[in-house]
Structure 1
Amino acid sequence: MNKNRHTDHAKKRILVVRFSALGDVAMTLPVVYSLARQYPDVEIDFVTTPFFARLFLNPPANLTLRPVDLKKDYHGVKGTLRLLRYLSSLRPDYVADLHNVFRSWIIDRWFQLKGLKVVMVDKMRGERKAAISQKAPQPSFFSRYADVFAKLGFPVDVTFTTLFSDGLPTTTIEPEHPAVGIAPFARYANKTYPLHLVKRVAEMLTANGIHVYLFGGRGKEAEELQRLADSTPGCTSLAGRFPIEEELPLMGKMDVMVSMDSANQHMASLCATPVVSIWGSTTPECGFMPYRQDPDNALCLRLDCQPCSIAGKPECPLATLACMNNLLPETVANKILSLIKQ
Structure 2
Amino acid sequence: MNQTPDSFKKILILQTAFIGDVILTTPLLRVCAEKFPTAQIHFITIPASRNTVETLPYIYKLWIYDKRGKDAGLANLIRFSRKLKKEKFDLALIPHRSLRSALLVYFARISRRIGFDTSSGSFLFSDKVKYSGEGHEINRNLKLFEPLNIEINEKQFPEIHPDETDRKIISDWLQQNGLGTLKPLVCMAPGSIWFTKRWIPEYWATLSERLTQQGYSVVFVGSSVDHPLIQNIIEMINSPVYNASGLFTVRQSAELIRRSILLISNDSAPTHIGVSVKTPVLTIFGSTVPTFGFYPCGENDRVAEIENLPCRPCTDHGREKCPLKHFKCMKDLYPDHVFEIAEEMIHEHH
8 Å CA contact retained: 2:189, 2:221: yes
Q: Match for residue 213 of structure 2?
A: 207
DSSP-derived class of the 1:341 partner: helix
Q: Which residue of 1 aligns with 2:113?
A: 118
Q: Distance in 1 between matches of 2:105 and 2:59?
A: 23
Find out whether 1:46 has 2:43 as its counterpart.
yes
Please, which of 83, 86, 89 is the counterpart of residue 83 of structure 2? 86
- Tell me the residue number matched to 2:143: 147
TM-score, reference length from structure 1:
0.86
The residue that corresponds to 2:303 in the other structure is 298
TM-score by length of 2: 0.84
Residue 313 of structure 2 is aligned to residue 307 of structure 1: yes
Report SS of the residue matched to 1:31: helix
Cα offset, 1:235, TM superposition: 1.1
Q: Is the 8 A contact 1:6 1:39 kept in 2?
A: no
Alignment partners' CA distance in 2, 1:33 and 1:61: 6
Contact 1:270 1:291 in 2 (8 A): no
Runs of at least 4 residues off by over 6 Å: 165-168
The aligned counterpart of 2:230 is 225
Equivalent position to 1:169, from 167, 170, 173: 167
Letter in 1 for 2:341: K
Aligned partner of 1:276 in structure 2 is 282
Alpha-carbon separation, structure 1, partners of 2:24 and 2:51 = 14
Deviations 1:69-101 (A, max 9, x none): 223332222211111101112221111111121
User: Equivalents in 2 of 1:189, 1:20: separation in Å?
Assistant: 19
Alpha-carbon offset, residue 214 of structure 1 = 0.5
- Residue 169 of structure 1 aligns to a residue whose secondary structure is helix
Cα pair 2:3 2:149 within 8 Å, conserved:
no
1:86-132 alpha-carbon deviations (Å, 9 max, x no partner):
11122211111111212012124335xx461111135599xxxxxxx
Q: Quote the Cα distance in structure 1 between the aligned partners of 2:297 and 2:64.
A: 24
| Contact 1:169–1:249 (Cα < 8 Å) also in 2 | yes
Unaligned segments of structure 2, at least 5 residues: 121-131
95 and 11 in structure 1: CA distance in 2 versus 1, 3 angstrom threshold:
closer
| One-letter amino acid of the structure 1 residue matched with residue 197 of structure 2 | K
- Per-residue deviation at 1:234? 2.9
- 2:257 maps to which of 246, 251, 255: 251
Report whether the alignment pairs 1:69 with 2:74: no
Describe the superposition over 1:196-249 as per-residue Cα deviations: whole angstroms up to 9, x where unpaired: 111000011011011101112214x21332343353323111011112231111
Deviation at 1:251? 1.4
> Are residues 1:239 and 2:207 paired?
no
Unaligned runs of at least 5 residues, structure 1:
126-135
Quickly say closer, same or farther: Cα 1:341–1:166, change in 2 above 3 A.
farther
Cα offset, 1:189, TM superposition:
0.7
Larger displacement relative to structure 2 (272-281 or 83-92): 83-92
CA contact (8 A) 1:278 1:300 kept: yes
Would the alpha carbon gap of residues 200 and 187 (structure 1) be closer, same or farther in structure 2, given more than 3 Å must change? Answer: same
Corresponding residue pairs, total: 324
SS of equivalent residue, structure 1 residue 144: helix
Aligned Cα root-mean-square deviation (Å): 2.7
Distance 1:293 1:315 in 2: 33
In 2: Cα distance, 1:89 partner to 1:24 partner: 27
2:56 aligned to 56, 59, 67, which one?
Answer: 59
Q: Distance in 1 between matches of 2:151 and 2:85?
A: 25
